[in-house]
Amino acid sequence: MPRDLTTLDNVYENNLGTLMKLSNSVLPVQYPESFFQELFPKGKNGSKDTFFAQLGYYSEVAVGGIKAKLLTNKKGEVLPQGVYIELLVVLEHYRNKGIGTKLLNYVESECKRHFQHDIFVHVACDNESAIEWYTKHGFVREGDVLKNYYKNTAGSPDCFILKKHI
Amino acid sequence: MSKKKGSKGKGQPVLGRAKEHTQFLEALKLYESKSYKKSIKILDGILKKDSEYVDALALKALDLVSLGEKSEAQGYCKNALSKIDGTTASPICCHVLGIYMRTIKEYAESVKWFQASLNNGSTNQQIYRDLATLQSQIDDFKGALVSRKKYWEAYLGYRANWTALAIAQDINGEHQQAVNTLSQFEKLVEGKLGKAELYEHNECLMYKSDIMYRIAGNNKEKLQNVLRYLNEIDPNVYDKCSLLEEQASIYMKMGELKEASKVYRTLIKRNPDDFRYYKLLEVSLGIQGNNTLRKALYEKLEKFYPRSEPPKFIPLTFIEDENLLSTKLKEYVLPQLKRGVPAAFCNVKLLYRGRLSIVPALLEKIVSDYLVSIDATTEPIPYIWTCYYLAQHFLFLKQFQKSQEFIDKAIQHTPTLVELYLFKGRVLKHLGLLEEAAEVLEEGRRLDLQDRFINTKTVKYFLRANNIEKATEIASLFTKNDDAINGIKDLHLVEASWFVIEQAEAHYRLYLLALRKLHNLISEAEKAENTEQTNNEHGDNLIHNIKVTEWEVQKNQGLALKRFLAITKFYNQFQDDQLDFHSYCMRKGTPRAYLDMIKWGKTIYTKPMYVRALQGSFKLYSSLYDQSLLEQDDTIQTRIKNIMKNHAKKAKKETSAINKRKEEDKKHFAAYTEAEDNDVYGIELLNKKMPLEEFQIIYKNYCQKVSEIDKNYTLEFEYQYRKGKLALCLGALSKYTKIHGTKSGLAGAMAIVLLLSTKEDAPFDVIGKKVAYKGCEDICPGLPVAERDNEHFDWIEYYNQTFPNHDLEPLRFLNSHKRLFDAAKLKEMILQELSNREPLLQNYVLQYEL
């Protein structure tokens, strides 16, 4: 049996830089370092949120990554609302090789583990390939266009909300 | 290390000291059971009554040193020695002193006292073993042979003693006796070997065959004997590889090539990746000169060993036909690129070097064509490694622009691959952009903080860019920083030469830069002083800058020297580390490994790293020496003092601010614990009265061990020149020309400097000058010695004409003696020479040497 070229692995504090590099070189939006550091909360002021993050490898080279967050309902209700994908990137030349699907599958399995049924994601309006990809993977648009969602971006500042129910 | 002593009570008690002597023996027993403090207590009692009792003094020194009280111990030892006439002391006393000397690593002294103990009547045979170990450590193998023999006679029942004796005989050239010793022992143990001893036995058998092989030389009969012996011991030998290798080389020597080739084929079968066997197989088959046969051979071997490198690679080194070579190269390189082998370029680099006129061009075409043929998205892995290959290819050809293009392409395609950053940094380094290079490595390092390789590389790049602080910070991520603020102590403890030497050189460069700045500031201040425009804000600033820069100069100079000397300390440690093995290897029965170690031990002080430290420290020591020759008024210190006279208040304030910082910063620079060393900045090293003599201490180790061919004669020349010994400079020049000929530019440059120096006054002595003047003519025929006193003779022009393919090295050498020449013209020549060198070198010379 041939070796599977694509694999996933955890994000560790030491290779956080890789995830950061991937995000910054694929997305037009530049996230600050704190956005990644919150995966590894330090001290009392650290974030108490639950995150799911993975790196995707192609032939042992890190080429994609995902970071998702468990959304809790702030109004004191017991049940959380779902899982929100904050970041999902794959390097341009490594697309259509199943890495993104694997990353999404990982988050979906985490959803099941946490008894969640909804996955959300924001996608920039001009990011057609992403919209197409999400649609292919069972996401549907929900609600109207959010105006001026992205601030530090070279692309469109507006975005859609996509949702997948599992 | 054995500290056993069996001679208790056998020494002669001095008359009238019977009681003290018994007490002394008690103290000795306590020492042996490591109760040093109790031992000292008794000794103090003895010494109170009789302060002349040397035995007690010596033992107290030993007790103290075992407790770590080195300086106190030294006092007692000195006291004891002053009361002993020559070596006439009791055997126990001599023995104690011997052990003391060994503990403080004065091995030659230790040998002396152990020997004295035996001469004075000690019957303790154990001493011979310790003595032999120490004699081996100080290279006194003749003495070691005697001691080994004595010990062997006393204890015939141990294998270790037989092996030790044989080794000592072997080292002293008594090969036949060594063989006899080993044979005798073989007979003794025949049939009585336990399982545990089999390995030891096999080593001794192989060792014996080694000696026999060496004795045999080219004598066929003797070689036949060795061969027979090898066959005999074959079933008992574990190290089949050495056995086969020896067998093969015996066949080769005897001219039985066919047999040899069979053995080499067996060896290849055992390890088909060792290039040596293939070369030797060719020789044994007698086909080195016939490329057709060679090609056929390797084609066949490739079928046998399809996964091995050598059969694929070796044909590439000799195939002449361009088309065929091109096909073969393709078959060799492209599969590697397809698989994504990062080392693809390194694998063929040897061909680039060896066949510069043909291979690079062919491979450039092959790989470029391949790159065009693949798609970046469907085959991403081959794509990046092919770009990577081409970037390396163009760097090799010094086409920096193209190299950069390809590496950028690769990074853009896959920005998460650390190798790409490493390489991009390398390209930038060659372009002389050291800071940028370090930043690129830092970018790569951040991808994976656990990657130790890029961590150390980044550290090195930052050091090259003179950013010591950042480098230390990054290096400290991987060190043990228990009681320290950074990893510098730990890096010294683990003898990380690469870091220490790079740091030393960085400090040296910073020292040069600071020194230049200081000179400028002083001139500016002196000018201002003359126009009396100093009592304003600008003047205050100037004073501040001068003070700060003065400290920068001193700090960097001191630290550079400190670090260079730290390297030499590592090597002293390596030297001392051998001590235990003179007994350990005997016990473990590994004579062959032991002999390898002895051989290695002789080269320690000639290793490149040690030489680099020597050269670096010499630059500092010689500049210290040059400064010491200056007139009092011209020294920087005096000039600064003069400027400060009118600004006493401001100066005092600045000085105290700097002193405060000195104390605070100490912990950032300390390489040793405070107890070991409190001269953190190396200031005491700078203030030594005789810098050249300090250098001599580390230089003599090198001179003793280095071979004539490998010796660095420029260093020797410069050293003797500073010492004022022109005759010895001539010696260096003469040796150099013997090896490199008189046509070499460096020989010419040295000869010119030497000749022109013979007309100078101090510090050169008259006889030396005469010898050198005469010698220049003899060694370098054609050197116009008669023009020496001609003020108008243009030596630079002469050099230019005589050595037309001038290298940079001789020019830099001349430049270090530029006071003898027209400095402006020399500078111009160097600049011209530099113009077609790579930017890295250009920048270095421009920034630090001109």
- The answer on B727 and B671 residing in a single domain is no
- The answer on B656 and B601 residing in a single domain is yes
Smallest Cα distance from A40 to chain B, Å:
15
CATH number at residue B681: 1.25.40
Domain count of chain A? 1
The reply to whether B387 touches chain A by the CB within 8 Å rule is: no
- The answer on B578 and B633 residing in a single domain is yes
The domain in which residue A145 lies consists of 6-165
Mean pLDDT of B23-31: 91
> Residues of A with CB below 8 A from B442's CB?
none
**B436-495 pLDDT, tens digit each:** 999 999 999 999 999 999 999 999 999 999 999 999 999 999 999 888 889 999 999 999
**What does the pLDDT read at residue B785?**
83
CA distance linking residue A155 with residue B405, whole number of Å: 27
Answer yes or no: is A78 within a domain.
yes
The reply to whether A141 touches chain B by the CB within 8 Å rule is: no
C-beta of residue B559 within 8 angstroms of C-beta of residue B507: yes
User: pLDDT class for A41, splitting at 50, 70, 90?
Assistant: confident
Answer yes or no: is A92 within a domain.
yes
Mean pLDDT of A83-111: 94
Percent of chain B as helix, strand, coil, to the nearest 5 = 75, 0, 25
Interface test with A, best of B383, B387, B416, B448 (most A CBs within 10 A): B416
Mean pLDDT of A33-37: 91
Answer yes or no: is A61 within a domain.
yes
Answer yes or no: is B723 within a domain.
yes
CA distance linking residue B441 with residue B461, whole number of Å: 8
Answer yes or no: is A1 within a domain.
no
Q: Do A61 and B377 touch (CB under 8 A)?
A: no
CA distance linking residue A47 with residue A35, whole number of Å: 11
- The answer on B722 and B685 residing in a single domain is no
Which tops the pLDDT comparison, B272 or B191? Answer: B272
- pLDDT above 90 covers what percent of chain B? 72
Answer yes or no: is B589 within a domain.
yes
User: pLDDT class for B232, splitting at 50, 70, 90?
Assistant: very high
Pick from B607, B416, B758: nearest CA to A57:
B416
Residue B401 pLDDT exceeds 50: yes
Nearest CA in chain B to A64: B416
- The answer on B650 and B583 residing in a single domain is yes
Q: What is the DSSP letter of B218?
A: T
Answer yes or no: is B457 within a domain.
no
**A3-22 pLDDT, tens digit each:** 788 999 999 999 999 999 99
The reply to whether A163 touches chain B by the CB within 8 Å rule is: no
Residue B1 pLDDT exceeds 80: no
The reply to whether B441 touches chain A by the CB within 8 Å rule is: no
Answer yes or no: is B583 within a domain.
yes
- The answer on B738 and B692 residing in a single domain is no
Instruction: Compute the radius of gyration of chain A from its Cα atoms.
Output: 16
- The answer on B675 and B807 residing in a single domain is no
**B662-682 pLDDT, tens digit each:** 999 999 999 998 888 889 999
CA distance linking residue B241 with residue B592, whole number of Å: 14
The domain in which residue B572 lies consists of 489-700
Q: Do A94 and B380 touch (CB under 8 A)?
A: yes
- The answer on B810 and B764 residing in a single domain is yes
In residues, how long is chain A? 166
Mean pLDDT of A80-101: 91
Smallest Cα distance from B501 to chain A, Å:
29
**Cβ of B377: how many Cβ atoms within 10 Å?**
14
**B752-773 pLDDT, tens digit each:** 999 988 887 767 788 888 888 8
Across A74-139, where does the E strand assignment appear?
82-90, 118-124
Q: Which residues pair with A52 in a beta bridge?
A: A68
Q: Do B416 and A18 touch (CB under 8 A)?
A: yes
**What does the pLDDT read at residue A20?**
95
How far does Cα A103 stand from its chain's mean position? Answer: 8
SS3 (DSSP) at A163:
strand
Mean pLDDT of B369-389: 95
The mean pLDDT of chain B is 91
- The answer on B729 and B676 residing in a single domain is no
> Residues of A with CB below 8 A from B417's CB?
61
The reply to whether A14 touches chain B by the CB within 8 Å rule is: yes
**B546-585 pLDDT, tens digit each:** 999 999 999 999 999 999 999 999 999 999 999 999 999 9
Answer yes or no: is B654 within a domain.
yes
CA atoms within 13 Å, Cβ hemisphere of B267:
25
Q: What is the DSSP letter of B217?
A: T
Domain count of chain B? 2
Residues 6 or more apart in contact with residue B751 via CB below 8 angstroms: B733, B776, B779, B780, B783
Pick from B489, B409, B491, B422: nearest CA to B451:
B422
User: pLDDT class for B4, splitting at 50, 70, 90?
Assistant: very low
Smallest Cα distance from B162 to chain A, Å:
56
Pairing of β A118-124 and β A159-165: antiparallel
Q: Do A25 and B446 touch (CB under 8 A)?
A: no
Answer yes or no: is B120 within a domain.
no
Cα distances from B636 to residues A35, B544, B633, B660, B682, in angstroms, run 54, 16, 8, 23, 19
Residues 6 or more apart in contact with residue B375 via CB below 8 angstroms: B383
**B786-801 pLDDT, tens digit each:** 888 888 888 888 888 8
CA distance linking residue B203 with residue B191, whole number of Å: 17
C-beta of residue B527 within 8 angstroms of C-beta of residue B536: no
**B619-663 pLDDT, tens digit each:** 999 999 988 888 777 788 888 888 888 788 888 888 999 999 999
The reply to whether B413 touches chain A by the CB within 8 Å rule is: yes
Last residue of a domain, one of B683, B700, B717: B700
Last residue of a domain, one of B649, B673, B700: B700
**Cβ of B682: how many Cβ atoms within 10 Å?**
26
SS3 (DSSP) at A162:
strand
- The answer on B617 and B504 residing in a single domain is yes
Mean pLDDT of B730-747: 91
- The answer on B752 and B848 residing in a single domain is yes
**What does the pLDDT read at residue B528?**
82
Give the N- to C-terminal CA distance of chain B in Å, as an integer.
Answer: 54
**B6-15 pLDDT, tens digit each:** 444 444 445 5
Pairing of β A140-146 and β A61-71: unpaired
Answer yes or no: is B273 within a domain.
no
Smallest Cα distance from A79 to chain B, Å:
37
CATH number at residue A22: 3.40.630.30
- The answer on B780 and B686 residing in a single domain is no
Pairing of β A159-165 and β A6-10: unpaired
Residue B3 pLDDT exceeds 70: no
CA distance linking residue B86 with residue B414, whole number of Å: 76
The reply to whether A22 touches chain B by the CB within 8 Å rule is: yes
**B287-325 pLDDT, tens digit each:** 988 999 999 999 999 999 999 999 999 999 999 999 999
